[in-house]
Chain A
Amino acid sequence: MSQTVGLGPTAYSRPLRSLRSLSFLLLRCFFGSTYILLSTPPPPSANDHRSNDSAQGTTTDLAMEQPASSPTRESHSAGSDLAVDEKVPDASSSGVPVVQTSEDGIVLIPQPSADPADPLNWPLKKKAVIVSTLFLALFVGMSAPFCGQLNLKQQADLYGKTTLQISYFVRELPFRGRQSRDDAIYLLLAQTHQTLTGNHRTRPLPLVWLREDGSGGLCPSSWAAAPSSSTASSAFWRPRSGLRS
């Protein structure tokens, strides 16, 4: 292939190669940092569920007796470092349940199977790559709904709304039908927000909030949230008195 002068293919390929190398380097740093975070052994804690023979081995016999001639099988069970192989007595031949532990003696919950395809038995590097990918995906998924959150004034001017109406974008949708402690915390915050904004004219509906002037109040930030704050104020602090017809 002949060499070109100036802005030929070679002139473009060099920055592309650099960009590719930089991308690979960033990916390796990204995956590597996750791997290091996951593989660092946890400090010993009084709450650890450690087996009685943690100093010696990797398994604990619930019956506290194991035949000396018990056959063993290779397992990819994991502790602080998931790449460690362990000798696990075969429970099926001995007839007694066997608890697998990490090399630190921590009882593995849940107990992994002997199948290398079991996600619990995957190498830590593979898990680190998946966690890194989830990190990126979650970052993207959570940042997407909040784009435009700081431009309420411009949006209000464009659509002929008040900034308060536009601020409903960052509210939550009532989606779940169950109440929990988390909901109570959320609703408390929502009520605080409601008080701060001085807005008491929202009308709760099952899935959509409607302003009294008929404009929408869909709130896309988080669907896994709680009922509306007006409903909450009625349910938790002023039973039945706060509902608006």
Chain B
Amino acid sequence: MTGPNDYIPYLVSRLFAGFFGVVVSILGPRILVDMFFLHQRGRAFTILHVALNLGASAGPTFSGYVGANTYWNVEYWWHVALTSFTLIPVFLFLEDTTYDRSEGAVNRKKPDSWIQDRVETFFFGTSVVPKSTWLDTVRAIFSVLLP
């Protein structure tokens, strides 16, 4: 990816970074809405947006410092370490906030075992949300595109 003919692989790698990186900015607010009441959301959203703004500024800034006196590819490695570290608290602390408050709804009962709860939540997360079909997924995608 660092050769003169590796422009397209580099392009695709940046595409993946952007594609997966912004997932938290979309799902994070959804988690806040699930957890906080209306009058509390302003403060919670502010905290999240501080992270968004800081992240967009810190990425090039820290990378610029790292890559100032060396080859520019090195500047991605600090983020490799940061991403690796972030996986740990995400696995340990994040919880699914899916909850149906409608009458007669059956919600998931959290297992007593912490390990089992983590496994159900992250591998692959399908047992902590209501069952849905691929047709539902396709409908959800196109419902966004339709006016």
Contacts and interface: CB of A to CB of B under 8 A. Distances in A.
Contacts, number: 222
B19 to A, nearest CB: 6
Given A78-B37, A130-B31, A224 B93 contact: no
A110 B36 CA distance: 9
Nearest to A104: B39
Interface string B95-115: 101010100000101100000
B134 interface: no
Contact of A149 (B63, B90, B101): B63
B44 to A, nearest CB: 6
Contact of A169 (B14, B52, B76): B14
A83 interface: no
Query: What are the 10 closest A-B residue pairs judged by CB atoms, nearest first?
Result: A220-B18, A142-B55, A143-B59, A146-B59, A177-B145, A109-B38, A141-B21, A145-B18, A151-B72, A149-B60
Interface residues of B, number: 69
Contacts of B145: 176-178
A218 B15 CA distance: 7
Interface string A123-157: 00011011111111111111111111111001100
A220 B37 contact: no
B133 interface: no
B35 to A, nearest CB: 5
B107 A142 contact: no
A144 B17 contact: yes
Interface size for chain A: under 10, 10 to 19, 20 to 34, or 35 or more residues?
35 or more
Interface stretch (A68-76, A113-121, A183-191): A113-121
Contacts of B97: 119
Contacts of A223: 18-19, 22
Contacts of A143: 54-56, 58-59, 62, 79, 82
Given A140-B82, A220-B15, A131 B48 contact: yes
Interface in B1-58: 2, 4, 6-8, 10-12, 14-26, 28, 31-32, 34-40, 43-44, 47-48, 50-52, 54-56, 58
A142 B52 contact: yes
Nearest to A145: B18
Contacts of A161: 7
A134 B17 CA distance: 18
28 contacts: A42-B39, A42-B43, A109-B39, A112-B101, A113-B101, A118-B99, A130-B95, A131-B32, A133-B89, A133-B93, A134-B24, A134-B48, A138-B52, A142-B59, A143-B58, A143-B82, A145-B17, A146-B56, A146-B60, A147-B60, A148-B63, A150-B67, A151-B63, A155-B10, A159-B7, A215-B7, A223-B19, A224-B26
A9 interface: no
Mostly, the A contact residues are loop
B75 interface: yes
Given A134-B94, A141-B25, A142-B59, 5 more contacts: A48-B39, A80-B40, A142-B56, A146-B59, A148-B14
Interface of A: 27, 34, 37-38, 40, 42, 48-49, 78-80, 102, 106, 108-113, 115, 117-120, 122, 126-127, 129-151, 154-155, 158-161, 169, 173, 176-178, 215-216, 218-224
A139 B37 contact: no
Contacts of B93: 129-130, 132-133
